Structure 1
Amino acid sequence: MTILVTGARGNIGSRLVAALAEAGHPVRGSARDATTLRLPAGAEPAELDLTDPGPAAADALRGVDAVFLYPVIGSVDAFLEAAVAAGVRYLVLLSSPSAYEAGEFDRPIGLVHRAVERAVAGSGLKHTVLYPSWLATNAGRDWADQIRASRRVAMAFGDASVTPVHPDDIARVAADLLTRDTHRARMQILTGPRPLRLRDAVATIGDVLGVELPVDDLTRDEALERDQGRMPRPILETLLDVAAASVGQTAPVTNAVERVTGRPAQPFRSWVEAHRADFQPG
Protein backbone atom coordinates (compact mmCIF):
# COMPACT_ATOMS: atom_id res chain seq x y z
CA MET A 1 0.00 0.00 0.00
CA THR A 2 1.11 3.53 -0.80
CA ILE A 3 2.25 6.12 1.75
CA LEU A 4 1.24 9.74 1.15
CA VAL A 5 3.69 12.41 2.33
CA THR A 6 2.18 15.89 2.41
CA GLY A 7 4.50 18.87 2.41
CA ALA A 8 6.93 16.89 0.27
CA ARG A 9 8.91 20.03 -0.64
CA GLY A 10 9.77 20.79 2.99
CA ASN A 11 12.79 20.01 5.12
CA ILE A 12 11.16 16.98 6.73
CA GLY A 13 8.80 15.89 3.96
CA SER A 14 11.48 15.79 1.26
CA ARG A 15 13.76 13.71 3.47
CA LEU A 16 10.91 11.37 4.38
CA VAL A 17 9.98 10.76 0.73
CA ALA A 18 13.63 9.98 -0.03
CA ALA A 19 13.94 7.59 2.92
CA LEU A 20 10.77 5.71 2.00
CA ALA A 21 11.66 5.49 -1.70
CA GLU A 22 15.17 4.31 -0.92
CA ALA A 23 13.73 1.54 1.26
CA GLY A 24 11.48 0.43 -1.58
CA HIS A 25 8.14 1.57 -0.15
CA PRO A 26 5.52 2.90 -2.58
CA VAL A 27 5.37 6.62 -1.77
CA ARG A 28 3.51 9.62 -3.12
CA GLY A 29 4.63 13.17 -2.34
CA SER A 30 2.21 16.08 -2.50
CA ALA A 31 2.37 19.86 -2.76
CA ARG A 32 -0.07 22.61 -3.71
CA ASP A 33 1.78 22.88 -7.02
CA ALA A 34 3.07 19.49 -8.13
CA THR A 35 5.37 21.08 -10.72
CA THR A 36 7.55 22.37 -7.86
CA LEU A 37 8.24 18.87 -6.54
CA ARG A 38 11.64 17.27 -7.04
CA LEU A 39 11.03 13.66 -6.05
CA PRO A 40 13.44 10.71 -6.08
CA ALA A 41 13.04 7.86 -8.53
CA GLY A 42 10.11 5.65 -7.63
CA ALA A 43 8.08 8.37 -5.87
CA GLU A 44 4.84 9.66 -7.40
CA PRO A 45 3.86 13.36 -7.41
CA ALA A 46 0.41 14.57 -6.38
CA GLU A 47 -1.14 18.03 -6.35
CA LEU A 48 -3.03 18.69 -3.13
CA ASP A 49 -4.06 21.68 -1.04
CA LEU A 50 -4.72 20.39 2.46
CA THR A 51 -7.01 23.30 3.32
CA ASP A 52 -8.98 23.06 0.06
CA PRO A 53 -8.54 19.48 -1.15
CA GLY A 54 -11.57 19.19 -3.45
CA PRO A 55 -11.57 16.37 -6.03
CA ALA A 56 -7.74 16.23 -5.96
CA ALA A 57 -7.90 14.47 -2.60
CA ALA A 58 -9.33 11.31 -4.13
CA ASP A 59 -6.41 11.05 -6.56
CA ALA A 60 -3.80 11.85 -3.92
CA LEU A 61 -5.28 9.27 -1.53
CA ARG A 62 -5.84 6.50 -4.08
CA GLY A 63 -4.50 3.24 -2.62
CA VAL A 64 -3.01 5.06 0.38
CA ASP A 65 -2.69 3.16 3.65
CA ALA A 66 -0.76 5.70 5.73
CA VAL A 67 -0.28 9.48 5.65
CA PHE A 68 2.36 11.90 6.90
CA LEU A 69 0.56 15.15 7.64
CA TYR A 70 2.44 18.42 7.56
CA PRO A 71 0.82 21.13 9.72
CA VAL A 72 -0.81 24.02 7.89
CA ILE A 73 -2.72 27.15 8.85
CA GLY A 74 -6.38 26.52 8.18
CA SER A 75 -8.85 23.68 8.44
CA VAL A 76 -7.75 20.19 7.40
CA ASP A 77 -11.15 18.65 8.19
CA ALA A 78 -12.12 18.06 4.56
CA PHE A 79 -8.81 16.35 3.84
CA LEU A 80 -9.15 14.11 6.90
CA GLU A 81 -12.70 13.19 5.89
CA ALA A 82 -11.37 12.22 2.45
CA ALA A 83 -8.60 10.16 4.09
CA VAL A 84 -11.11 8.22 6.18
CA ALA A 85 -13.30 7.64 3.11
CA ALA A 86 -10.27 6.43 1.14
CA GLY A 87 -9.49 3.77 3.75
CA VAL A 88 -6.38 5.33 5.32
CA ARG A 89 -5.56 3.36 8.44
CA TYR A 90 -2.81 5.40 10.11
CA LEU A 91 -1.41 8.92 10.17
CA VAL A 92 1.75 10.59 11.49
CA LEU A 93 1.30 14.27 12.35
CA LEU A 94 4.26 16.60 12.55
CA SER A 95 3.52 19.01 15.38
CA SER A 96 5.60 21.12 17.77
CA PRO A 97 6.24 21.35 21.52
CA SER A 98 4.67 24.80 21.20
CA ALA A 99 1.35 22.93 21.31
CA TYR A 100 1.88 22.15 25.00
CA GLU A 101 4.76 24.19 26.41
CA ALA A 102 4.16 26.98 28.93
CA GLY A 103 4.21 30.38 27.25
CA GLU A 104 3.49 28.87 23.82
CA PHE A 105 0.42 26.65 23.80
CA ASP A 106 -1.98 29.61 23.96
CA ARG A 107 -0.07 31.84 21.53
CA PRO A 108 -0.05 31.90 17.71
CA ILE A 109 2.33 29.00 16.94
CA GLY A 110 0.83 26.76 19.60
CA LEU A 111 -2.74 27.53 18.56
CA VAL A 112 -2.04 26.53 14.93
CA HIS A 113 -0.59 23.19 15.96
CA ARG A 114 -3.31 22.50 18.52
CA ALA A 115 -6.00 23.12 15.91
CA VAL A 116 -4.49 20.50 13.58
CA GLU A 117 -4.05 18.07 16.48
CA ARG A 118 -7.72 18.47 17.46
CA ALA A 119 -8.80 17.85 13.88
CA VAL A 120 -6.73 14.68 13.64
CA ALA A 121 -8.02 13.39 16.97
CA GLY A 122 -11.59 14.15 15.91
CA SER A 123 -11.18 12.28 12.62
CA GLY A 124 -10.98 8.93 14.39
CA LEU A 125 -7.84 7.97 12.47
CA LYS A 126 -5.20 6.08 14.40
CA HIS A 127 -2.25 8.41 14.66
CA THR A 128 1.02 9.39 16.33
CA VAL A 129 2.02 13.00 16.93
CA LEU A 130 5.69 13.92 16.53
CA TYR A 131 7.08 16.72 18.70
CA PRO A 132 10.59 17.58 17.46
CA SER A 133 12.71 19.94 19.53
CA TRP A 134 14.58 22.95 18.13
CA LEU A 135 15.31 22.11 14.51
CA ALA A 136 18.94 22.19 13.43
CA THR A 137 17.74 23.93 10.27
CA ASN A 138 16.76 26.95 12.42
CA ALA A 139 20.46 27.81 12.45
CA GLY A 140 20.40 28.35 8.71
CA ARG A 141 17.14 30.27 8.83
CA ASP A 142 18.25 32.59 11.63
CA TRP A 143 22.01 33.01 11.18
CA ALA A 144 23.24 32.02 7.73
CA ASP A 145 22.72 35.45 6.15
CA GLN A 146 24.55 37.18 9.00
CA ILE A 147 27.45 34.73 8.96
CA ARG A 148 27.89 34.99 5.20
CA ALA A 149 27.79 38.79 5.29
CA SER A 150 29.72 39.70 8.43
CA ARG A 151 31.18 36.60 10.10
CA ARG A 152 29.27 37.42 13.30
CA VAL A 153 25.78 36.86 14.71
CA ALA A 154 23.51 39.30 16.52
CA MET A 155 20.86 37.70 18.72
CA ALA A 156 18.84 38.12 21.88
CA PHE A 157 19.05 35.58 24.70
CA GLY A 158 22.18 33.81 23.48
CA ASP A 159 22.23 31.79 26.70
CA ALA A 160 18.87 30.17 25.88
CA SER A 161 19.10 26.37 25.98
CA VAL A 162 17.94 24.23 23.04
CA THR A 163 18.41 20.60 22.01
CA PRO A 164 18.92 20.71 18.24
CA VAL A 165 17.42 17.76 16.38
CA HIS A 166 18.64 16.71 12.94
CA PRO A 167 15.88 16.72 10.28
CA ASP A 168 17.11 13.36 8.97
CA ASP A 169 16.36 11.85 12.39
CA ILE A 170 12.81 13.18 12.32
CA ALA A 171 12.33 11.70 8.85
CA ARG A 172 13.73 8.33 9.95
CA VAL A 173 11.37 8.19 12.92
CA ALA A 174 8.41 9.08 10.70
CA ALA A 175 9.43 6.43 8.16
CA ASP A 176 9.59 3.78 10.86
CA LEU A 177 6.18 4.70 12.24
CA LEU A 178 4.60 4.72 8.78
CA THR A 179 5.95 1.29 7.86
CA ARG A 180 5.98 -0.60 11.19
CA ASP A 181 3.57 -0.63 14.11
CA THR A 182 6.14 -1.23 16.87
CA HIS A 183 6.40 2.35 18.17
CA ARG A 184 3.00 3.76 17.28
CA ALA A 185 2.45 5.59 20.56
CA ARG A 186 0.10 8.55 20.95
CA MET A 187 3.15 10.82 20.72
CA GLN A 188 6.91 10.75 20.29
CA ILE A 189 9.04 13.63 21.60
CA LEU A 190 12.18 13.85 19.48
CA THR A 191 15.40 15.63 20.44
CA GLY A 192 19.04 15.68 19.56
CA PRO A 193 21.61 14.02 21.83
CA ARG A 194 22.49 16.99 24.03
CA PRO A 195 21.43 20.54 24.87
CA LEU A 196 23.35 23.61 23.74
CA ARG A 197 23.08 27.29 24.44
CA LEU A 198 22.32 29.25 21.29
CA ARG A 199 25.74 30.94 21.48
CA ASP A 200 27.37 27.49 21.70
CA ALA A 201 25.51 26.45 18.54
CA VAL A 202 26.98 29.50 16.80
CA ALA A 203 30.42 28.53 18.11
CA THR A 204 29.93 25.04 16.64
CA ILE A 205 29.28 26.58 13.23
CA GLY A 206 32.41 28.69 13.59
CA ASP A 207 34.46 25.64 14.54
CA VAL A 208 33.26 23.77 11.46
CA LEU A 209 34.06 26.79 9.27
CA GLY A 210 37.41 27.32 10.96
CA VAL A 211 36.62 30.90 11.96
CA GLU A 212 35.61 32.76 15.10
CA LEU A 213 31.98 33.92 15.07
CA PRO A 214 31.42 36.61 17.72
CA VAL A 215 27.91 36.92 19.11
CA ASP A 216 26.54 40.43 19.54
CA ASP A 217 23.96 40.34 22.33
CA LEU A 218 20.71 42.19 21.62
CA THR A 219 17.91 43.20 23.94
CA ARG A 220 14.42 41.95 23.20
CA ASP A 221 13.45 45.36 21.79
CA GLU A 222 16.58 45.51 19.66
CA ALA A 223 15.82 42.07 18.22
CA LEU A 224 12.27 43.14 17.37
CA GLU A 225 13.49 46.30 15.66
CA ARG A 226 16.26 44.50 13.78
CA ASP A 227 13.85 41.96 12.29
CA GLN A 228 12.14 44.69 10.21
CA GLY A 229 9.05 42.62 9.50
CA ARG A 230 10.75 39.53 8.08
CA MET A 231 8.73 37.44 10.53
CA PRO A 232 5.17 38.22 11.73
CA ARG A 233 5.51 40.23 14.93
CA PRO A 234 3.39 37.92 17.16
CA ILE A 235 5.47 34.92 16.05
CA LEU A 236 8.77 36.68 16.74
CA GLU A 237 7.54 37.92 20.12
CA THR A 238 6.61 34.36 21.08
CA LEU A 239 9.98 32.98 19.99
CA LEU A 240 11.83 35.66 21.94
CA ASP A 241 9.77 35.06 25.07
CA VAL A 242 10.38 31.32 24.85
CA ALA A 243 14.11 31.91 24.47
CA ALA A 244 14.12 34.27 27.46
CA ALA A 245 12.32 31.68 29.60
CA SER A 246 14.91 29.00 28.76
CA VAL A 247 17.92 31.04 29.89
CA GLY A 248 19.42 29.28 32.90
CA GLN A 249 17.42 26.13 32.16
CA THR A 250 18.56 22.87 30.54
CA ALA A 251 16.60 21.87 27.45
CA PRO A 252 15.19 18.33 27.71
CA VAL A 253 16.71 15.29 26.01
CA THR A 254 14.88 12.10 25.07
CA ASN A 255 16.08 8.77 23.66
CA ALA A 256 13.14 8.48 21.26
CA VAL A 257 15.20 8.71 18.06
CA GLU A 258 17.44 5.81 19.05
CA ARG A 259 14.59 3.83 20.58
CA VAL A 260 12.51 4.03 17.40
CA THR A 261 15.20 3.85 14.71
CA GLY A 262 17.92 1.86 16.48
CA ARG A 263 20.43 4.63 15.66
CA PRO A 264 21.63 7.36 18.05
CA ALA A 265 20.38 10.87 17.41
CA GLN A 266 22.86 12.89 15.36
CA PRO A 267 24.61 15.85 16.98
CA PHE A 268 24.11 19.41 15.78
CA ARG A 269 27.64 19.42 14.41
CA SER A 270 26.77 16.71 11.89
CA TRP A 271 24.08 18.91 10.37
CA VAL A 272 26.44 21.89 10.23
CA GLU A 273 29.12 19.81 8.50
CA ALA A 274 26.62 18.69 5.87
CA HIS A 275 25.50 22.29 5.28
CA ARG A 276 28.81 24.09 5.59
CA ALA A 277 28.31 25.79 2.22
CA ASP A 278 25.15 27.52 3.47
CA PHE A 279 27.29 29.65 5.80
CA GLN A 280 30.14 30.41 3.37
CA PRO A 281 30.38 33.77 1.58
CA GLY A 282 29.28 33.72 -2.02
Structure 2
Amino acid sequence: MTILVTGARGNVGSRLLTALATAGRPVRGSARDATTLRLPAGAEAAELDLTDPGPAAADALRGVEAVFLYPVRGPIDGFLEAAAKAGVRYLVLLSSPSAYEAGEFARPIGLVHRAVERAVASSGLQHTVLYPSWLATNAQRDWADQIRTTGRVAMAFGDASVTPIHPDDIAQVAADLLTRDTFRARMQILTGPQPLRLREAVATIGDVLGVELPVDDLTRDQALEREQGRMPRPIVETLLDVAAASIGQTAPVTNTVERITGHPARSFRSWIETHRTDFLPS
Protein backbone atom coordinates (compact mmCIF):
# COMPACT_ATOMS: atom_id res chain seq x y z
CA MET A 1 0.00 0.00 0.00
CA THR A 2 1.49 3.29 -1.10
CA ILE A 3 0.65 6.43 0.88
CA LEU A 4 0.52 9.81 -0.87
CA VAL A 5 1.54 12.82 1.21
CA THR A 6 0.44 16.10 -0.35
CA GLY A 7 2.02 19.33 0.85
CA ALA A 8 5.21 17.34 1.38
CA ARG A 9 7.32 20.50 1.70
CA GLY A 10 5.36 21.74 4.71
CA ASN A 11 6.10 21.55 8.42
CA VAL A 12 3.75 18.60 8.90
CA GLY A 13 3.94 16.96 5.48
CA SER A 14 7.73 16.77 5.43
CA ARG A 15 7.79 15.20 8.90
CA LEU A 16 5.07 12.73 7.97
CA LEU A 17 6.95 11.75 4.83
CA THR A 18 10.07 11.07 6.88
CA ALA A 19 8.17 9.13 9.56
CA LEU A 20 6.53 6.85 7.01
CA ALA A 21 9.73 6.29 5.01
CA THR A 22 11.70 5.56 8.18
CA ALA A 23 9.09 2.97 9.15
CA GLY A 24 9.59 1.29 5.78
CA ARG A 25 6.20 2.27 4.37
CA PRO A 26 5.92 2.84 0.60
CA VAL A 27 5.35 6.59 0.44
CA ARG A 28 5.16 9.27 -2.22
CA GLY A 29 5.42 13.00 -1.56
CA SER A 30 3.87 15.57 -3.87
CA ALA A 31 4.28 19.26 -4.58
CA ARG A 32 3.43 21.57 -7.46
CA ASP A 33 7.12 21.55 -8.33
CA ALA A 34 8.58 18.15 -7.44
CA THR A 35 12.14 19.47 -7.84
CA THR A 36 11.67 21.49 -4.63
CA LEU A 37 11.08 18.37 -2.53
CA ARG A 38 13.76 17.07 -0.17
CA LEU A 39 12.88 13.41 0.08
CA PRO A 40 14.04 10.93 2.73
CA ALA A 41 15.56 7.67 1.51
CA GLY A 42 12.92 5.35 0.12
CA ALA A 43 10.34 8.01 -0.71
CA GLU A 44 9.14 8.81 -4.22
CA ALA A 45 8.36 12.25 -5.64
CA ALA A 46 5.30 13.32 -7.62
CA GLU A 47 4.37 16.61 -9.24
CA LEU A 48 0.78 17.51 -8.47
CA ASP A 49 -1.40 20.61 -8.27
CA LEU A 50 -4.41 19.72 -6.14
CA THR A 51 -6.54 22.47 -7.67
CA ASP A 52 -5.61 21.54 -11.25
CA PRO A 53 -4.60 17.88 -11.14
CA GLY A 54 -4.92 16.99 -14.83
CA PRO A 55 -3.13 13.89 -16.12
CA ALA A 56 -0.51 14.20 -13.34
CA ALA A 57 -3.06 12.91 -10.83
CA ALA A 58 -3.03 9.42 -12.32
CA ASP A 59 0.75 9.15 -11.86
CA ALA A 60 0.67 10.61 -8.36
CA LEU A 61 -2.12 8.25 -7.32
CA ARG A 62 -0.77 5.09 -8.93
CA GLY A 63 -1.02 2.26 -6.38
CA VAL A 64 -2.09 4.67 -3.62
CA GLU A 65 -4.58 3.46 -1.01
CA ALA A 66 -4.26 6.27 1.57
CA VAL A 67 -3.73 10.02 1.24
CA PHE A 68 -2.64 12.80 3.58
CA LEU A 69 -4.37 15.92 2.28
CA TYR A 70 -2.93 19.34 2.97
CA PRO A 71 -5.61 22.06 2.69
CA VAL A 72 -5.36 24.48 -0.22
CA ARG A 73 -7.35 27.42 -1.52
CA GLY A 74 -9.38 26.52 -4.56
CA PRO A 75 -11.39 23.57 -5.85
CA ILE A 76 -10.05 20.08 -5.12
CA ASP A 77 -13.01 18.09 -6.44
CA GLY A 78 -11.04 16.94 -9.50
CA PHE A 79 -8.28 15.53 -7.34
CA LEU A 80 -10.76 13.78 -5.03
CA GLU A 81 -12.57 12.25 -8.01
CA ALA A 82 -9.25 11.01 -9.35
CA ALA A 83 -8.38 9.58 -5.92
CA ALA A 84 -11.63 7.65 -5.69
CA LYS A 85 -11.20 6.37 -9.25
CA ALA A 86 -7.62 5.28 -8.48
CA GLY A 87 -8.81 3.13 -5.57
CA VAL A 88 -7.89 5.33 -2.61
CA ARG A 89 -9.61 3.90 0.45
CA TYR A 90 -8.83 6.41 3.18
CA LEU A 91 -7.78 10.03 3.60
CA VAL A 92 -6.46 12.14 6.48
CA LEU A 93 -7.25 15.85 6.12
CA LEU A 94 -5.21 18.43 7.99
CA SER A 95 -7.70 21.14 8.93
CA SER A 96 -7.86 23.80 11.66
CA PRO A 97 -10.05 24.63 14.67
CA SER A 98 -10.84 27.82 12.74
CA ALA A 99 -13.32 25.67 10.82
CA TYR A 100 -15.58 25.44 13.90
CA GLU A 101 -14.46 27.91 16.57
CA ALA A 102 -16.59 30.94 17.49
CA GLY A 103 -15.31 34.08 15.83
CA GLU A 104 -13.43 32.11 13.17
CA PHE A 105 -15.62 29.66 11.28
CA ALA A 106 -17.35 32.36 9.21
CA ARG A 107 -14.18 34.36 8.52
CA PRO A 108 -11.49 33.86 5.85
CA ILE A 109 -9.35 31.15 7.49
CA GLY A 110 -12.36 29.17 8.64
CA LEU A 111 -14.11 29.44 5.28
CA VAL A 112 -11.08 28.00 3.45
CA HIS A 113 -10.90 25.00 5.75
CA ARG A 114 -14.66 24.44 5.70
CA ALA A 115 -14.64 24.41 1.89
CA VAL A 116 -11.99 21.69 1.85
CA GLU A 117 -13.87 19.70 4.49
CA ARG A 118 -17.10 19.90 2.46
CA ALA A 119 -15.32 18.69 -0.67
CA VAL A 120 -13.81 15.74 1.21
CA ALA A 121 -17.16 14.84 2.79
CA SER A 122 -18.87 14.98 -0.62
CA SER A 123 -16.23 12.75 -2.20
CA GLY A 124 -17.48 9.65 -0.42
CA LEU A 125 -13.95 8.74 0.68
CA GLN A 126 -13.53 7.42 4.21
CA HIS A 127 -11.62 10.09 6.10
CA THR A 128 -10.52 11.60 9.39
CA VAL A 129 -10.13 15.34 9.92
CA LEU A 130 -7.28 16.54 12.14
CA TYR A 131 -7.71 19.74 14.13
CA PRO A 132 -4.32 20.72 15.63
CA SER A 133 -4.05 23.58 18.10
CA TRP A 134 -1.66 26.55 17.83
CA LEU A 135 1.41 25.29 15.98
CA ALA A 136 4.75 25.60 17.77
CA THR A 137 6.16 26.67 14.40
CA ASN A 138 4.09 29.88 14.66
CA ALA A 139 6.74 31.14 17.07
CA GLN A 140 9.31 30.95 14.31
CA ARG A 141 6.98 32.54 11.77
CA ASP A 142 5.88 35.42 13.99
CA TRP A 143 8.82 36.15 16.30
CA ALA A 144 12.11 34.72 15.02
CA ASP A 145 13.07 37.72 12.90
CA GLN A 146 12.31 40.14 15.74
CA ILE A 147 14.28 38.11 18.25
CA ARG A 148 17.28 37.74 15.95
CA THR A 149 17.43 41.43 15.05
CA THR A 150 16.19 43.26 18.16
CA GLY A 151 16.21 40.82 21.06
CA ARG A 152 12.59 41.79 21.75
CA VAL A 153 9.09 40.83 20.62
CA ALA A 154 6.38 43.32 19.75
CA MET A 155 2.85 41.90 19.78
CA ALA A 156 -0.76 42.67 20.54
CA PHE A 157 -2.72 40.66 23.09
CA GLY A 158 0.25 39.05 24.81
CA ASP A 159 -2.08 37.51 27.38
CA ALA A 160 -3.89 35.46 24.73
CA SER A 161 -4.01 31.77 25.63
CA VAL A 162 -2.79 29.02 23.28
CA THR A 163 -1.80 25.37 23.59
CA PRO A 164 1.24 24.94 21.33
CA ILE A 165 1.53 21.60 19.56
CA HIS A 166 4.76 20.12 18.23
CA PRO A 167 4.54 19.34 14.48
CA ASP A 168 6.16 15.94 15.07
CA ASP A 169 3.12 14.96 17.13
CA ILE A 170 0.74 15.92 14.33
CA ALA A 171 2.83 13.90 11.87
CA GLN A 172 2.92 10.86 14.15
CA VAL A 173 -0.84 10.93 14.65
CA ALA A 174 -1.34 11.18 10.89
CA ALA A 175 1.10 8.30 10.32
CA ASP A 176 -0.81 6.11 12.76
CA LEU A 177 -4.15 6.87 11.12
CA LEU A 178 -2.78 6.21 7.64
CA THR A 179 -1.32 2.83 8.57
CA ARG A 180 -3.87 1.31 10.96
CA ASP A 181 -7.57 1.79 11.56
CA THR A 182 -7.75 1.80 15.39
CA PHE A 183 -8.39 5.55 15.75
CA ARG A 184 -10.02 6.37 12.43
CA ALA A 185 -12.77 8.54 13.87
CA ARG A 186 -14.54 11.29 11.94
CA MET A 187 -12.19 13.81 13.56
CA GLN A 188 -9.35 14.06 16.07
CA ILE A 189 -8.64 17.25 18.04
CA LEU A 190 -4.91 17.51 18.79
CA THR A 191 -3.17 19.79 21.29
CA GLY A 192 0.11 20.13 23.09
CA PRO A 193 0.35 19.32 26.80
CA GLN A 194 0.16 22.79 28.34
CA PRO A 195 -1.68 26.07 27.76
CA LEU A 196 0.52 29.16 27.64
CA ARG A 197 -0.08 32.85 27.30
CA LEU A 198 1.75 34.26 24.30
CA ARG A 199 4.09 36.24 26.54
CA GLU A 200 4.87 33.01 28.43
CA ALA A 201 5.77 31.35 25.15
CA VAL A 202 8.18 34.22 24.44
CA ALA A 203 9.66 33.81 27.93
CA THR A 204 10.19 30.11 27.20
CA ILE A 205 12.19 31.02 24.11
CA GLY A 206 14.26 33.44 26.15
CA ASP A 207 14.90 30.82 28.80
CA VAL A 208 16.15 28.36 26.19
CA LEU A 209 18.37 31.05 24.66
CA GLY A 210 19.60 32.15 28.09
CA VAL A 211 18.43 35.74 27.64
CA GLU A 212 15.53 37.92 28.69
CA LEU A 213 13.18 38.74 25.82
CA PRO A 214 11.07 41.81 26.65
CA VAL A 215 7.58 41.96 25.14
CA ASP A 216 6.46 45.31 23.74
CA ASP A 217 2.67 45.46 23.88
CA LEU A 218 0.99 46.81 20.77
CA THR A 219 -2.55 47.99 20.23
CA ARG A 220 -4.66 46.21 17.64
CA ASP A 221 -4.18 49.06 15.18
CA GLN A 222 -0.41 49.07 15.72
CA ALA A 223 -0.29 45.34 15.12
CA LEU A 224 -2.31 45.69 11.92
CA GLU A 225 0.07 48.35 10.65
CA ARG A 226 3.10 46.26 11.59
CA GLU A 227 1.81 43.20 9.73
CA GLN A 228 0.89 45.16 6.60
CA GLY A 229 2.17 43.32 3.54
CA ARG A 230 3.17 40.18 5.44
CA MET A 231 -0.29 38.62 5.45
CA PRO A 232 -3.62 39.69 3.92
CA ARG A 233 -5.34 42.17 6.22
CA PRO A 234 -8.51 40.04 6.74
CA ILE A 235 -6.31 37.16 7.93
CA VAL A 236 -4.44 39.39 10.38
CA GLU A 237 -7.70 40.88 11.65
CA THR A 238 -9.06 37.41 12.32
CA LEU A 239 -5.92 36.27 14.15
CA LEU A 240 -5.92 39.39 16.30
CA ASP A 241 -9.60 39.10 17.17
CA VAL A 242 -9.20 35.43 18.09
CA ALA A 243 -6.24 36.30 20.32
CA ALA A 244 -8.19 39.09 22.02
CA ALA A 245 -11.17 36.79 22.64
CA SER A 246 -8.95 34.18 24.35
CA ILE A 247 -7.67 36.55 27.05
CA GLY A 248 -8.89 35.41 30.45
CA GLN A 249 -9.64 31.93 29.14
CA THR A 250 -7.59 28.73 29.24
CA ALA A 251 -6.86 27.16 25.88
CA PRO A 252 -8.15 23.56 25.57
CA VAL A 253 -5.95 20.53 26.22
CA THR A 254 -6.72 17.01 24.96
CA ASN A 255 -4.97 13.67 25.50
CA THR A 256 -5.43 12.64 21.85
CA VAL A 257 -1.73 12.64 20.97
CA GLU A 258 -0.88 10.29 23.84
CA ARG A 259 -3.93 8.11 23.22
CA ILE A 260 -3.00 7.55 19.58
CA THR A 261 0.82 7.59 19.62
CA GLY A 262 1.40 6.05 23.07
CA HIS A 263 3.63 8.91 24.26
CA PRO A 264 2.77 12.23 25.94
CA ALA A 265 2.48 15.24 23.68
CA ARG A 266 5.79 17.07 23.29
CA SER A 267 6.20 20.44 24.98
CA PHE A 268 6.63 23.80 23.31
CA ARG A 269 9.99 24.04 25.03
CA SER A 270 11.17 20.84 23.32
CA TRP A 271 10.44 22.35 19.91
CA ILE A 272 12.32 25.54 20.81
CA GLU A 273 15.30 23.53 22.08
CA THR A 274 15.49 21.69 18.76
CA HIS A 275 15.20 24.92 16.74
CA ARG A 276 17.19 27.16 19.05
CA THR A 277 19.51 28.40 16.29
CA ASP A 278 16.53 29.81 14.34
CA PHE A 279 16.21 32.48 17.02
CA LEU A 280 19.89 33.39 17.39
CA PRO A 281 21.49 36.39 15.64
CA SER A 282 23.06 35.30 12.37
Under a length normalisation based on structure 2, what TM-score does the superposition of the two structures give? 1.00
Matched, 1:271 2:278: no
| Structure 1 SS opposite 2:66 | strand
Q: Does 1:195 find its partner at 2:182?
A: no
Question: When the two structures are aligned, how many residues end up with a matched partner?
Answer: 282
Q: Percent identity?
A: 86
What per-residue deviation string (whole Å, max 9, x for no partner) do you get for residues 124-176 of structure 1?
A: 00000000000000000000000000100000000000000000000000000
Q: Does 1:96 align with 2:105?
A: no
Give the 3-state SS of the residue equivalent to 1:134 in structure 2.
coil
Deviation digits for residues 169-225 of structure 1 (CA, Å, limit 9, x no counterpart): 000000000000000000000000010000000000000000000000000001001
- Give the Cα–Cα distance (whole angstroms) in 2 for the partners of residues 6 and 176 of structure 1: 17
Q: Secondary structure at 1:165's aligned position in 2?
A: coil
Secondary structure of the corresponding residue to residue 155 of structure 2: strand
Q: Secondary structure at the match of 1:131?
A: strand
Q: Within 1, Cα distance between the matches of 2:209 and 2:181?
A: 41
Structure 1 position 155 matched with structure 2 position 132: no
Gaps of 5+ in 2: none
Question: Cα deviations across residues 240-264 of structure 1 (Å, max 9, x unaligned)?
Answer: 0000000000000000000000010
Task: State the alpha-carbon separation in 1 of the partners of residues 248 and 47 from structure 2.
Answer: 46
C-alpha distance in structure 2 between counterparts of 1:177 and 1:54, whole Å:
28
Please state how far the C-alpha of 1:4 moved relative to its aligned partner. Answer: 0.2
Structure-2 residue corresponding to 1:9: 9
The residue number in structure 2 matching 1:74 is 74
Residue number in structure 2 paired with 1:230:
230
Separation in 1, partners of 2:83, 2:263: 32
Shift of 1:228: 2.4
CA distance in 2, matches of 1:272, 1:212: 15
Structure 1, unpaired ranges of 5+: none
What is the CA–CA distance in structure 1 between the aligned matches of 2:93 and 2:230, rounded to whole Å? 27
Amino acid at match of 2:262: G
Q: Secondary structure at the match of 2:184?
A: coil
Deviations 1:39-83 (A, max 9, x none): 000000000000000000000000001000000000000000000
1:227 deviates by: 1.4
- 2 CA distance for matches of 1:30 and 1:258? 29
Query: Which runs of structure 2 are paired with 1:207-222 in the superposition (5 Å)?
Result: 207-222=207-222
Partner of 1:165: 165
2:216 is paired with a residue whose SS is strand
Distance 2:105 2:209 in 1: 37
1:266 positional shift: 0.3
Aligned counterparts of 1:271 and 1:194: Cα–Cα separation in 2: 13
Offset at residue 226 of structure 1 (A): 1.2
- Structure 1 residue aligned with 2:129: 129
- CA apart distance, 1:34: 0.3
Alpha-carbon separation, structure 1, partners of 2:14 and 2:80: 21
Give the structure 2 partner of residue 116 of structure 1: 116
Q: Which residue does the alignment assign to 2:22?
A: 22
Partner-residue secondary structure (3-state), 2:28 = strand
C-alpha deviation, 1:229, in angstroms: 1.5
The separation in 1 between residues aligned to 2:157 and 2:33, in whole angstroms, is 38
Give 3-state SS (helix, strand or coil) of 1:170's partner.
helix
Write the mapping of 1:57-72 to structure 2, written as runs, cut at 5 A.
57-72=57-72
1:155 alignment partner, SS class = strand
Q: Which residue of 2 aligns with 1:85?
A: 85
- Local SS of the residue matching 2:222: helix
Secondary structure of 1:265's aligned partner: coil
CA RMSD of aligned residues (A): 0.3
What CA distance in whole angstroms lies between the structure 2 residues aligned with 1:225 and 1:136? 24
Residue pairs, 1:37-56, within 5 angstroms: 37-56=37-56
